[in-house]
Amino acid sequence: MPKKNIIKKMSRREKLKYYETLEFPKGFLWGAATSSHQVEGDNKNNDWWVWENDKKYKRFHSGKAANQHELYENDIKLIKELNQNSHRFSIEWSRIEPKEGVWDFSEIKYYKNELEIMKKSGLKTMVTLHHFTNPVWFAQKGGFAKRKSIFYFQRYVNFIVEQLGNLVDFWITINEPGVYVSQSYLNGVWPPQIKNKWQALKVYLNLARGHKKAYKSIHKIYKTKKWGEAKVGIAQNTISSHSYHPYSFGPFIVITFINWLWNHSFFWLTKGKHDFLGINYYFHFRINSSVLKTFDFFINTYIEHREMSSVGWEVYPEGIFNVLLDMKKYKLPIYITENGIATVDENKRSRYLVAYLKEIYHAICADVPVKGYFYWALIDNFEWEKGFEPRFGLIEVNYKTFERNIRSTARVYSRICQENSIKPYLLKFLGHGISPKDIKGGLK
């Protein structure tokens, strides 16, 4: 039998012996992500805008952000130019319902037009319904700390899905519920800046209830409208962790509990109400503590002089493999809904991208059903309380002129998207100091 036919019949693992090319499954989704408040600009009717503009405090203002509300058509063209076949973005609740029970149909038209252009461009669409921000009127009523929040959120979800559902391939009801709760109700870093464990628990439970109701109603609307089968999930921020004492029982219990609380508790609360798992991955924590002691998330990373992003998050590609292997037990399709690095070193960004995608490939080889990857972020954006300094984008934004400039890593990613694989020449990025200019023929 010819060698070509023998190789064709080989399994993925067997092919690895013959090929250095890392091939992803057919139909794999390649994209990038954004969120409304971080890129659109002038979201004046949400709680973040009010918080940013409180004159008693010196805080970063989102202002025009990346001005995507005006430049979205240009950004969609860039998505296609970079060979991506999908896109994840969020709808700003406060634009749709600026006052309680009052719908702004001009904003519905804006999002509808955005989605229609994406669909005409052949892109799969993934839409997030809640990405940290709340309408001012909703926040003034107590937000998700109140049980009535479920009713308000459900009403908003039903309205959006009725208006736009035929243009959406995937729905993310809530982005990173654990991050939202910890930053807003435990650490008190984000609005409403509350530090109360019982309040945090109430919010977490109400978010879970809100997701379950939204899941049911989205499926009901799709069935009534005969739009086919809805695909609904969340985007869960996940972490990997490592103990300085891996063979001691105490630290093992700590890590097991942290893993369940951070990675699995929301899925446990919403069991049976997910058509896929949306996984965001940025964080690897090193823990040097016993059961009775608290631990500092970042101190060991600095002590060990680990490679980090510009915001102090450790670069640890193996962590995403470990998380994905852990998520395999749910037996659901998995999409990496966010993964990226804040840096001004483009060589580091390219190394980061290839290294993490390589680990995702290995997870697929281990039979983890990963179906897509969305880099964070498509363009530079307003990074919440950190302002505009962190640069996550594949595309650079000049915040004075709003001019877009495609970074070299975007060209690397474009090749991967186009070829649905990581070719051997791209694996050179795993070596330090390699620049896109060093690749034969360059990247255009």
pLDDT tens figures, 304-316: 788 999 999 999 9
Q: How would residue 2 be classed by pLDDT, with cut points 50, 70 and 90?
A: very low
Domains of the chain: 17-438 (3.20.20.80)
| Region 263-276 average pLDDT | 98
At 183, the pLDDT band (50, 70, 90 cuts) reads: very high
pLDDT tens, residue by residue, 299-352? 456 677 889 999 999 999 999 999 999 999 999 999 999 999 999 999 999 999
Instruction: Please state which of the ranges 39-48, 57-66, 409-418, 433-442 shows the lowest mean pLDDT.
Output: 433-442
Predicted local distance difference test score (pLDDT) of residue 291:
44
Tens-place pLDDT, residues 81-135: 999 999 999 999 999 999 999 999 999 999 999 999 999 999 999 999 999 999 9
Nearest alpha-carbon partner for 362 in 330, 331, 333, 323: 323
